[in-house]
Structure 1
Amino acid sequence: MAELTLQNVSKSFDNQLILNDINLSVGNEEFVSVLGPSGSGKSTLFNLIGGLYQPDQGEITLDGDTITGTRGSISYMPQSPSLFPWRTIVDNVMLGSEIVGEPDREAAMNMLKKAGLSGYENAYPHQLSGGMKQRAAFVRSLLSPQPLICLDEPFSALDEFTRLEMQKWLLDLWSEHKRSVLFVTHNIEEALFLSDRVIVLSERPATVQKEFEVPFDRPREETLLLSEEMLSWKREIYQVLKRGDGSGASRG
């Protein structure tokens, strides 16, 4: 089980309000994306959930237990793969499980095979492409024992073709190893393609403008991206982001 709840969470830096009374949740095995303008505080939100920052007010709970200001409760994948250059790929992906004393090399090797990284288990990060590094980083997240994974714009540095391939790969692996996921992105199409729900933040100081229930069936097919329904939903979310005041009517 992994149910995350943020209640009335606010955070300031240098007397500047970044997040203002944020309320959101992620259900068990649910894939939720957070959309917002650049600088709206999406990464700050992750740092609060991960316990790196303490909120000025509010509470963060996981399965009913307070994790406010507590580190180690979530698995976190940042924008860059953050692989240790001196460790092989298999040793990198085992890092999270090693820290808690539960390393399983066989499981790591099997997961790397599913990720299309067979033959690269003993390679070093500099020998992998950007997409391959991101796959390794996500495998590391899945092998970590925490039930909630936070992904912070993991595909933002990739070209469009590689990005789409990574999105499809992520959905395939997630559907097989269901975990609760909170995914930060600034790409509306990506959020709709991946998620069960999309949460839209306003400009700074960020508040939750709207939540959208994504209606598309799973598994998601690439043809969905060119459909009229996808275009309609992209247009509606774009208008909410553009207004910045949450004045429109929500769907779903």
Structure 2
Amino acid sequence: MKHLNVQNISQSFGENHVLDDINFSIEEGEFVSILGPSGSGKSTLFRIIGGISEPTSGDILLKNKSIKGKPGSISYTPQSPSLFPWRSILDNVLLGQEIVGKKDRKKALQMIERAGLGSYEHAYPYELSGGMKQRASFIRSILSPQSLILLDEPFSALDEFTRTDMQKWLLSMWAEHRRSILFVTHNIEEAIFLSDRVIILSQRPATVLKEFNISFSRPREEELLLSEEFIELKKEIYQEMRLSHA
């Protein structure tokens, strides 16, 4: 059984056609990235999958049940960390569990420690760097009861070295907990490094141009980024995206 099925999703706002018959699926425990040019409708698609917006046509199935227009079915992490400034880091990461009435403080503290935030559990978001805030946001997603996590360009505001460190940390946490992840980015290198599979979207109105299976073994280290095989795949994906601009 597929974990997530995106079926014939189209979205228009008046005469503005954003998504055109989008179809793809995600397996249980799979890490899939959606890659597309800026303005291609990636975030619009995420809002639809997250139940925040309803599509003009099509359906979203989570474990064969429709979640179209049903927020709260998945865990959604937007581009900004979206931590509540008046809550401590511990209280922020427990928010998803708190909503469903089941808090596990011990596990939360263990994950905060594992994320290198062990001395910050009682700190407030303004006291943390951008990368630290993103770690806290992802811990909140992992602790939330939903089985699928959507990550919308979570590292786009970080510098290159912090971004690479965060990617490696994310992969280590994913390997440990094996939640299904759908990750949006416009960075080809990031998509390849993180994913089992990469889905390429065209310009608006967005369609699925192609899917790439990423066969590099795990765990992945940053040396992979400089390998000939990685660079060749990056070129192939770049050319595919370039053709969609022609």
Contact preservation (8 Å) 1:2, 1:148 = no
Structure 2 residue 124 is the aligned partner of structure 1 residue 124: yes
Aligned residue for 2:182, secondary structure, equals: strand
Report how many residues are paired.
246
Instruction: Provide, for residues 69-125 of structure 1, a one-character-per-residue CA deviation record: whole Å limited to 9, x for no partner.
Output: 111100011110000000000000000110011111111101101111001000000
Q: Which residue of 1 aligns with 2:11?
A: 11
Deviation at 1:215, TM superposition (A): 1.1
Contact preservation (8 Å) 1:22, 1:207 = yes
* Mapping for residues 135-214 of structure 1, pairs under 5 Å: 135-214=135-214
Task: Among all aligned residue pairs of Structure 1 and Structure 2, give the percentage whose two residues are the same amino acid.
Answer: 65
**Residues of 1 paired with 2:102 and 2:10: CA distance?**
35
Instruction: Provide, for residues 221-241 of structure 1, a one-character-per-residue CA deviation record: whole Å limited to 9, x for no partner.
Output: 111000000100000000010
Change (3 A) 1:211 1:245: farther
**Residues of 2 paired with 1:50 and 1:122: CA distance?**
30
Corresponding letter in the other structure for 2:159: D
Q: Which residue of 2 aligns with 1:39?
A: 39
Corresponding letter in the other structure for 1:140: R
**Residues of 2 paired with 1:157 and 1:24: CA distance?**
28
Contact preservation (8 Å) 1:35, 1:199 = yes
TM-score (norm 2): 0.98
Q: Which residue of 2 aligns with 1:113?
A: 113
Contact preservation (8 Å) 1:26, 1:32 = yes
Name structure 2 gaps, 5 residues minimum.
none
**Residues of 1 paired with 2:143 and 2:35: CA distance?**
26
Alignment RMSD (CA, Å): 1.2
Name structure 1 gaps, 5 residues minimum.
247-252
**Residues of 2 paired with 1:162 and 1:142: CA distance?**
21
Structure 2 residue 67 is the aligned partner of structure 1 residue 55: no
**Residues of 1 paired with 2:160 and 2:122: CA distance?**
28
Aligned residue for 2:76, secondary structure, equals: strand
Q: Which residue of 2 aligns with 1:102?
A: 102
Aligned residue for 1:141, secondary structure, equals: helix
